[in-house]
Structure 1
């Protein structure tokens, strides 16, 4: 049995970009493996959590990647933080009545940096994330708090598009008008953007899809906090690696980090060409296009379609400079 820890750090005062303060920053995290093994920092997606690996009874959202041999638990140690604003144990509106009204992606990344330092790490061997996790990965790389050997950015672009923000605004309006029932509608809308029309036609009849959508919405409104979801929609909308900066390309192109980007076919929110464009800002870069028909959620599904490329990337030691 490998070493497995789930715990909460209490890290004292933390000030957000807006100038608001979290009096005692709490970060829930999962650590799997042993100190001394290469460190993998995993950044989770919008409604994900810190349980990357999980347990036998409650497997984590990426356990198949690890146990499937693509990133073997005997070869690495894994660290995942629940982002602030999320309802799964880190500081959020759910557990802190004075939680800031405005939280950005840069806030959640700075909090993660504080957590990594508190656990005694100063170097990351592999930094990886999909969707909102990929956005965190970009910010962590730009900040250069830690030396990073390799980074993997899945289904994420250098800013949240107007198209994506439009869906987020409809979700907000649904919540403000309908409370928890509005949260159900927001989740159903989100699911449509995470999957492709081809995957829906392949999986459902027109009658089945209505029941499926309602099931997903009802499950979500029971398991996710409404205020936390609104916080995280704002976090998502705040993402723009170039916001207020004129040196991003210069910084990213100066890094020695080897970067792999992956785009997924039929991804409405983060098209493959824009994912590739992120990687092209780095000195060492490889890109892989995943030709499945699931859509944006491909990084959470059908691992055998793309994880072999991840495995190969992690094993390669020689990279040509562009």
Structure 2
């Protein structure tokens, strides 16, 4: 008989979950997917953690857009994370809007969407929710936790939160805490959403979301995922569908049209309140602060191996942030490897074709077999 816990489009009702902010969720819904087969010792599980606007569909078509899984370049047959060797788990994070508990889900106490009554969450809360899921799946120890960007924050938080439950962590294009600049860009996005009259204090109907504000938030954030050289190479100052400037405020330039498209397409698949909650969780993230103010203290209890990857054109989480983590790992006595890769694509490089990144991840994961 097939184990109903495993496969695509799975849901689990778990809990209770005590949150860093002091609230408790008695029931936690987790939407997730698994790929591959859990071995007899339950020792081949790899947890993949997604970024801010990602989801559990890491290697399967997205149900709303129909697009392929968001990390099929890294996950799949013959790839570094291969369901033929690994039991792959990817869960929608707490606070998101693709089936896991968040502001868009139903509050059992009222029968209505939580909206802004949902408690503020942290990255560590997301990790603890994943811990409940790992328990549910019968996994004591993860072979590896892998993530990029916000997923990398979770991958860092896992061995700090559950030091004896993960053997390896792969942290790509990430950071151990948000800087003032990171927080500032997120605040622009949040204010764009909350300034939209349709936001209504977060209590908007599902068919009338604050689409204009969310689109602007996405546009502002998307700029931080790119690089100046990448934008110049792709767009330069080329005009969009015209031979001369229009002397108006339509999208004269290709880059304007591109950003508008990114904003408009985003609102069809994401919830505005979830965007507020997840960006706040990212801004609150400071792994050193959680462990007495010293980053090395976060890693001293664990025996996990670490692999860090950064990209030279990533100005959102530049290489200096990865080096800071490596220094803390060295101080804690943790085995750590680190590489800076060259790419013109900025922060988004971790999601794009990167043979060098794949070789690094593949070698690291096989090295612990």
TM-score (norm 2): 0.81
Residue 136 of structure 1 and its aligned partner are, at CA, apart by 0.7
Query: 1:262 maps to which residue?
Result: 309
Residue 151 of structure 1 and its aligned partner are, at CA, apart by 1.2
Pairing 1:1-322 to 2, within 5 Å after superposition: 4-36=7-39, 38-55=44-61, 58-67=67-76, 68-96=78-106, 97-98=113-114, 100-144=118-162, 146-178=164-196, 179-206=210-237, 207-246=253-292, 248-282=295-329, 283-317=334-368
Could you say what secondary structure the match of 2:125 adopts? helix
- Please give the per-residue CA displacement for 1:83-121, whole angstroms capped at 9, x wherever unaligned: 011010000111123352311112111111111111111
Counterparts of 1:307 and 1:274, CA distance in 2:
21
- Please give the per-residue CA displacement for 1:10-36, whole angstroms capped at 9, x wherever unaligned: 014323222223232100011000010
Could you say what secondary structure the match of 2:151 adopts? helix
Residue 315 of structure 1 and its aligned partner are, at CA, apart by 2.1
184-193 or 306-315, larger mean C-alpha shift: 306-315
Could you say what secondary structure the match of 1:139 adopts? helix
* Unmatched tracts of structure 2, length 5 or more: 1-5, 107-112, 197-209, 238-252
- The 1:55–1:181 alpha-carbon spacing in structure 2 relative to 1, beyond 3 Å, is closer
* Native 8 Å contact 1:142 1:248 kept in 2: no
* Unmatched tracts of structure 1, length 5 or more: none
- The 1:180–1:40 alpha-carbon spacing in structure 2 relative to 1, beyond 3 Å, is same
- Ranges of 4+ aligned residues in structure 1 off by more than 4 Å: 55-58
- Please give the per-residue CA displacement for 1:58-84, whole angstroms capped at 9, x wherever unaligned: 521111212352222211110011001
More strand per residue: 1 or 2? Answer: 1
- The 1:123–1:163 alpha-carbon spacing in structure 2 relative to 1, beyond 3 Å, is same
- The 1:229–1:55 alpha-carbon spacing in structure 2 relative to 1, beyond 3 Å, is closer
- The 1:149–1:21 alpha-carbon spacing in structure 2 relative to 1, beyond 3 Å, is closer
Counterparts of 2:184 and 2:297, CA distance in 1:
31
Residue 312 of structure 1 and its aligned partner are, at CA, apart by 1.5
* Native 8 Å contact 2:215 2:264 kept in 1: yes
Counterparts of 1:239 and 1:317, CA distance in 2:
29
TM-score (norm 1): 0.92
* Native 8 Å contact 2:310 2:319 kept in 1: yes
22-31 or 247-256, larger mean C-alpha shift: 247-256
Could you say what secondary structure the match of 1:210 adopts? helix
Residue 286 of structure 1 and its aligned partner are, at CA, apart by 0.6
* Native 8 Å contact 1:124 1:146 kept in 2: no
Decide which structure has the larger Cα Rg and report it.
Answer: 2
* Native 8 Å contact 1:22 1:100 kept in 2: no
* Native 8 Å contact 1:263 1:276 kept in 2: no
Q: CA RMSD in A?
A: 2.0
* Native 8 Å contact 2:164 2:302 kept in 1: no
Residue 146 of structure 1 and its aligned partner are, at CA, apart by 4.2
